[in-house]
Structure 1
Amino acid sequence: MAPLSVLYTKIDNRPPEIIKSQGNYLETSDGRKIFDASCGAAVACLGHNDPRVKEAIVAQLDQIAYIYSPFFTVPAAEEIATFLTESTGGAMKKVFIVSSGTEAIEASLKMARQYFTELSEPQWQRTRFIARRQSYHGNTLGSLAAGGHKARRAIFEPIIAQNVSHVSPCYPYRDKKQGESNEEYVARLAEELEEEFQRVGPDTVCAFIAETMSGTTLGCVPAVPGYLKAMKEVCDRHGALLVLDEVMSGMGRTGTLHAWEQEDVVPDLQTVAKGLGAGYAPIGALLVGTRVAEALAKGTGSFTHSQTYQGHPIACATACAVQKIIRDDNLLENVREQGAYLEQLLKERLGGHKNVGDIRGRGLFWALEFVKDKTTKEPFPVGEGIAQKVHLTGLQKEHCVSVIPGVGVADGKNGDIVQIAPAYNVSREDVERIVEGVEGVINAVFP
C-alpha cells in the first residue's frame, strides 16, 4: 500500500474511500452504498451527480474558466449576484462572492469594520464584535475568534483576536428556566446582550454576529419566536450592525431560501455558502444590506478586501444552475413537506428513547441530542465520544447511513448531537429510509 500522504482529520486514520456518488448514495471502494443523510456537511442539497449542474459547468468551461475579479467581471457572476439580491426583495443590495463560508465570514468582519470608517470620525473607534457561545463561524483566525467553539479555539487562543466577546446562545432545551415563557426568555437574552454592550462600551461595537439557526456546535436549534428581532433592536439602539451567518442554515435548508425570512428580521450583513453551490464547486457569498452598501457608495466607493478566486466563473455558473433547479423543481416546498414528515417520524420512533433528550430542527435540518439521563439532561462526558460513535456506526455495512456528529453542545465541552440534513429532493420513502437507519444506529450504540 502506498504511503498515506493526505493529512487526514486523524492523521494516519484513512477514512472510507468514495469511488462514486449518485443521487442520495455514496459508494465506497469496499462495496458499501451509504445513504448520505447529511449531504456531507449540509452541502449536497441536490444529492449527487445531477447532470444539469454538470452541463452548466462544462458550458462555463467552454467560455472562460478564470478571471481576476478586481480587474474583470463575467455574466455568471452578475447573474448569481442579481439572483441573490432579488431573492431578498432588494433588502440586500450588494453581493461579494467568495469560495467558502469561512471566507464570507472574514469578509463580513472586514465589511462591518469598514462601514464605521466610512462614517464620521467618532465612529472609527468601533473595533469590537459580540457573538455567542457554542457557535461556529469558520476556522480562519478571524472567523475562529468570532465563533464560540471551545475545542476548536483552544490551542489557538494565544494568537486569535481578543476583540470578540460572547453571550449566551438561544438554547431553550437547556437554558430556558422552568415556567419561563418565550417572551420572558427572549427578554432575558436581550438584557444580557444589552449588558455586554454596556460592559465593553456601546460605541466600540461593530456588530453582533449569530447563526440564524445554529449549526453543528449547538445542533439545529431554531430561534425562539422574537429572539432575533430583539437582538436587532439592541444593535439598532447602539448603532451596531446585525450579521446573520446562514452558511449552513441558508439557501433553502430550513424551508425558505433565507432562514431569516421566518424570523421577522432583516440583517445588515448575511453570509451564505453550502447550499449555494450544492458542493459542485466551492462558493460562498457575503450579502450587504442597504445601510452598509450606501455608506460605502457615499464614502470611499470600494471594499478594502479581495481574494484570488472571488467571483470565480465556474463557481458562479454552478450556483446559478443549482438555484435554478431549486426553483424549477419546487424544492423549497419539498423541504417543508418532507421536513415535517421527518420531524414526525423522528419524534414517533425516537422521541421516547431513554438517551434521546431532544429532537429539534426545521425544514430538512434536524438534530438529536443525546443524554445520560432524560430527567436531569445530564450529558455524556466528552471522553465517551458518543456522537462520533453514532456517526461511525452509521457507516458500517449493516446500517449504511451518514449523519453529522457534533460535540460540546451542553457546555462547550460535553454534550453530543448528530445532525440529519438530507438533499432537498428527498421523497417520503427516502425519509423513511433515513429514520429507519438512524433508529437502528442508535439502538446499536445504546443497547
Structure 2
Amino acid sequence: MTKTQPPSAVLHRDTRSIPKKAIGGKGSYLFLEDGTKFLDSTGGAAVSCLGHGHEKASKAILDQMNQLAYCHTAFFGTDVSEELARFLCDSTGGRMSKLYIISSGSEAVEAALKMARQYYLELPTPQPKRARFIARKPSYHGVTLGALAAGGHVFRREPYEPLLSSNTSFVSPCYAYRDKRDHESDADYVARLAAELDAEFQRVGPETVCAFIAEPVVGAALGAVPAVPGYFKAMKAVCERHGALFILDEVMSGMGRCGTLHAWEQEDVVPDLQTIGKGLGGGYVPVSGLLIGEHIVETMDKGTGVFRHGHTYQGHPMACAAALAVQKVIQEENLLENVRAMGTYLEQRLRSRLERHPYVGDIRGKGLFWGIEFVRDKATKEPFGPDQSVAFHVQETGLRPEYAISLYAAGGCVEGTRGDHVLLAPPYNVTREEIDIIVETTARVLEHVFTKVVKV
C-alpha cells in the first residue's frame, strides 16, 4: 500500500495548492526537490542580491549566533547594530544620521509614518493638525494596516478597505509610458505632476499633511517604473514649500538594486526619511530599516527624546550581522559596478530580443531592476483584461521544469485593476552568461503563453 503524505499544515499563499519545495541554493540558482535547477532571476521578490549560499553572509550569521543571538533593545545595545548603523549613515554622506533596524519593509514604512507624525508633535511649536499623508496611485508600501493605507494598490487594499485609515490621499504616479502626453517634454510633464501635488496639498489643507511618500522606482505596483529626470526634485520642492516631509520608500529599489547604494543618489534628492529592506540583508535574515534625517533626530533630541514605537526584534543582532556582511560584500567585491554594467547589458538584451514582440508594450527599469509590461495592442497600449491573468500565466509557465525561471508577476498598472507586468531582479553578482539565459528563457516563456495559453 502506498503511504500518502499528510496535508500541509502551512497556510500557503494559495490554500488550494502546495508549492514545490526548494531544498538548496547556490549563486543564482535554487535546487528543487524534483531535481530542477531553477534560475532565480527575480531574487525572490528582488531580495537575494548576493544570490544563495554566500559563505561570508552565512559565516557572519553563525558567528553572531554563537556570540549572542538576541537581546532586547530596551535594555542593551550591541556592537554589530552600532557598526551597521554607522556603515549605512556614512554611506549617505552623513545626511541621514540614525538608523532604526527592524524586520520587514512593512514595518519600516509603519515606522516612517509614525516618525513623521511624531516629528511635528516634537517641534518647539507643535503642529498637531498634521496627520495626513499624500501618496501615489497605484503604489505599494506594505501589507500592515498603516502601510496598506498609505499605498494605492487596489487589489491588495480591497478586502480591508473598511479597516484602513482614510488619512492618505493620492496623486498620479510618474508613469511616462502611459501618462506622459504626446509632444509633452519631460520638464512639462514634471511641472504638471508638481502642480497636481501642490493642488492636493491645497485641497486637504497644507497644515494637515505630514509627508509625501513615493518609491524612486515603482516595484510591484507598476513594474519597475522609474521617474523622468527632475521629478523627485520637483516633488521635494512642493513638500518643502508646504513644510511637509519627503519620504522615499526604497525597500525594493534601494540598497544597490538600481546601481547606486541608495536610489536617490542618482539625482541627489535626499529624503527626510528613507525605508530600506530587501537588498539590505539579501534574504539571509528578515531585516529592514528606517534611515532618519539629522534635522528630525535633532528635533526628537530636543523634545521627548523617545520614539514611541518599538518592536521585540528591533536591532536583532543576527539580522544586523547578516546585513552588515551583505553590505560589506557589495562594497568589497565592487558589486555596484557590476549592477550598472550587467544592468546595461540586461536592458540591451531585453530590448533586442523582446521590444518587437507583438504583446510587449514597454520595457523599463534601472540597474538590475527591470519590468516588462504586456498589452493587447502596442499602438493603443490597450491592456489585457484582468480575467485573462496574463502576468500570472507568465509566472506559472516560468516555474515549469522546461523553463525553470522566476518571473515576478503583478497587475493593476492601469487604473488599479487592469494591466499586466513581470519583474526581473537578478543578483548583483549575476554574469553575462546568466543574463543571456534569463532573456532567452523569458522569450521562450512568452512564446508559449501567447500561443498556447492566452487567447489574443
Q: CA deviation at 1:353?
A: 0.3
Question: Any idea what SS the aligned residue of 2:371 has?
Answer: strand
* Rounded Cα–Cα distance in structure 1 between residues aligned with 2:122 and 2:139: 29
Question: Any idea what SS the aligned residue of 2:418 has?
Answer: coil
Counterpart among 275, 279, 302 of residue 275 in structure 1: 279
5+ long unaligned stretches in structure 1: none
* Rounded Cα–Cα distance in structure 2 between residues aligned with 1:183 and 1:420: 29
TM-score by length of 2: 0.97
Residues 37-436 of structure 1 mapped to structure 2, 5 A cutoff: 37-121=41-125, 123-436=127-440
Output one character per residue of 1:15-67: Cα deviation in whole Å (capped at 9) or x when no partner.
11111111111111111111000000000000000111111111101110001
* Rounded Cα–Cα distance in structure 1 between residues aligned with 2:146 and 2:401: 40
Q: CA deviation at 1:415?
A: 0.3
* Rounded Cα–Cα distance in structure 2 between residues aligned with 1:332 and 1:214: 20
Question: Any idea what SS the aligned residue of 1:415 has?
Answer: strand
Q: Please say which of residues 97-106 and 295-304 is displaced more in the overlay.
A: 295-304
- Retained in 2: the 8 A contact 1:4–1:12? no
Q: Which amino acid is 1:128 matched to?
A: R
TM-score by length of 1: 0.99
* Rounded Cα–Cα distance in structure 2 between residues aligned with 1:65 and 1:120: 40
* Rounded Cα–Cα distance in structure 2 between residues aligned with 1:204 and 1:107: 19
Pair 1:3 & 2:7 matched: yes
Structure 1 consecutive aligned stretches of length 4 or more whose deviation exceeds 3 Å = none
* Rounded Cα–Cα distance in structure 2 between residues aligned with 1:178 and 1:209: 28
* Rounded Cα–Cα distance in structure 2 between residues aligned with 1:201 and 1:403: 42
Q: CA deviation at 1:4?
A: 2.0
- Quickly say closer, same or farther: Cα 1:122–1:322, change in 2 above 3 A: closer
Output one character per residue of 1:408-433: Cα deviation in whole Å (capped at 9) or x when no partner.
01110100000000000011111111
Q: CA deviation at 1:112?
A: 0.1
Question: Any idea what SS the aligned residue of 1:217 has?
Answer: coil
Q: CA deviation at 1:116?
A: 0.1
Q: CA deviation at 1:89?
A: 0.1
Q: Which amino acid is 1:30 matched to?
A: D
- CA-atom RMSD in angstroms: 0.8
- Retained in 2: the 8 A contact 1:42–1:422? yes
Pair 1:33 & 2:34 matched: no
Pair 1:24 & 2:28 matched: yes
* Rounded Cα–Cα distance in structure 2 between residues aligned with 1:441 and 1:83: 41
Partner of 2:454: none
- Retained in 2: the 8 A contact 1:220–1:360? yes
Q: Which amino acid is 2:141 matched to?
A: H
Output one character per residue of 1:218-264: Cα deviation in whole Å (capped at 9) or x when no partner.
11111110000000000000100000000000000000000000123
- Retained in 2: the 8 A contact 1:81–1:95? yes
* Rounded Cα–Cα distance in structure 2 between residues aligned with 1:192 and 1:257: 30
Partner of 1:443: 447
Output one character per residue of 1:308-366: Cα deviation in whole Å (capped at 9) or x when no partner.
00000000000110001001110000000000000000000000000000000010000
5+ long unaligned stretches in structure 2: 452-456
Q: Which amino acid is 1:350 matched to?
A: L
* Rounded Cα–Cα distance in structure 2 between residues aligned with 1:155 and 1:406: 18
Pair 1:14 & 2:18 matched: yes
Q: Please say which of residues 22-31 and 168-177 is displaced more in the overlay.
A: 22-31
Output one character per residue of 1:72-98: Cα deviation in whole Å (capped at 9) or x when no partner.
110110011001100000000111000
Q: Which amino acid is 2:27 matched to?
A: G
Question: Any idea what SS the aligned residue of 2:90 has?
Answer: helix
* Number of equivalent positions: 447
Q: Which amino acid is 2:399 matched to?
A: L
* Rounded Cα–Cα distance in structure 1 between residues aligned with 2:430 and 2:36: 20
* Rounded Cα–Cα distance in structure 1 between residues aligned with 2:14 and 2:125: 49
Question: Any idea what SS the aligned residue of 1:291 has?
Answer: helix
